[in-house]
Amino acid sequence: MRVLGIETSCDETGVAIYDEASGLLANQLYSQVKLHADYGGVVPELASRDHVRKTVPLINAALKEARLQPHEIDAVAYTAGPGLVGALLVGATIGRSLAFAWNVPAVAVHHMEGHLLAPMLEANPPEFPFVALLVSGGHTQLISVTAIGEYQLLGESVDDAAGEAFDKTAKLLGLDYPGGAQLSLMAQRGTPGRFRFPRPMTDRPGLDFSFSGLKTFAANTIRENPVDTQTHADIARAFEDAVVDTLAIKCKRALEQTGFNRLVIAGGVSANRTLRAHLDTMMKARGGAVFYARPEFCTDNGAMIAYAGMVRLKAGANTPLALTVRPRWPLAELSAK
């Protein structure tokens, strides 16, 4: 079974082809970062228009990379939500139209399920059950995963997502959009312990997160201290340490609550090296294991959508001709079929 996956939920256009027997055959990605950089964030209308321009050429490029003809594709999967409604409609319209023209099934995929399953693309995929930390620019969630489609929300951010807080704090430090990854690089030059940031909502029970106050704390610290390269690096280090510690504390609580000993981290922030190292050390101390995708599969991509589409197709999913996208779509609403 070969599935063509299309991802257009926000500011990356991703197209990939996944073969059930041979694995990933093609992976094409176009990032709109330069397009939105001048605006300091994603402009939905510009994102939608760029998806219109890039999706079909990327599909052709993916077919060429895999050395396949359209009649050799067995299904088309596309992101149906959550995400920007205009961007979602581009991928959904193209994906559903191709499936109709090629007379193959279409599968509407949940964007966050794609992220959750991205580590399955690796040579050492996690087995069920596990706790999943979905951490990106739009989401910070802890999920109990017992099987495909069996997801229980354990906790989530009540305000800013972790990735959003990274980008906003990076902007306060004078870094260009998107600044999360640049902040992490700056933090590597920081002096540990010079600044101490709070670990929000870790002094009370529960698994919810809050990062907006941490961003405000960073803004106040920046304003009250000298404007020099080392001070900014020290603030970046303190901010990153606070976010990583907070995520780790909540992950540990989730593992203790569920009794699971496998942890999956997925989403754009899961590429953060400090977070990976911290969670790896924590899981080794517990006698467990942490799983994550390679960096290029942490951000939005077509490979995770193609894989999730294959899994859903095998479970009996088949999206009708009517187009439906869901800008807001809780992961817990998914079922096994």
Q: Which residues are annotated as a binding site?
A: 111, 115, 134-138, 167, 180, 272, 300
Selection from 295, 323, 293, 320 nearest residue 308 by Cα:
293
| Inter-residue contact 225 to 217 (CB < 8 Å) | no
Residue pair 134/140 in contact (Cβ under 8 Å)? The answer is yes
Q: Which of 150, 13, 25 is nearest to 79 (CA)?
A: 13
**Which has the closest alpha carbon to 319: 7, 157, 61, 78?**
78
Question: Could you tell me which residues are annotated as the binding site for Fe cation?
Answer: 111, 115, 300
Task: Give yes or no for a contact between 77 and 3, defined as CB atoms under 8 angstroms apart.
Answer: yes
Q: For the CA atoms of 95, 101, 107, 110, what is the dihedral angle to 10 degrees?
A: 10
Extract the annotated binding site for substrate.
Answer: 134-138, 167, 180, 272
Question: Which residues 6+ apart lie within 8 Å of 215 measured at CB?
Answer: 160, 165, 168, 169, 172
Name the CA radius of gyration of the chain, rounded.
20
Q: What is the DSSP string of 139-165?
A: -EEEEEEEETTEEEEEEEBSSS-HHHH
Q: What is the C-alpha to C-alpha distance for residues 18 and 24, in angstroms, rounded to an integer?
A: 4
The CB-side HSE value for 295 (13 A sphere, CA atoms) comes to 6
* Residue type for position 77: A
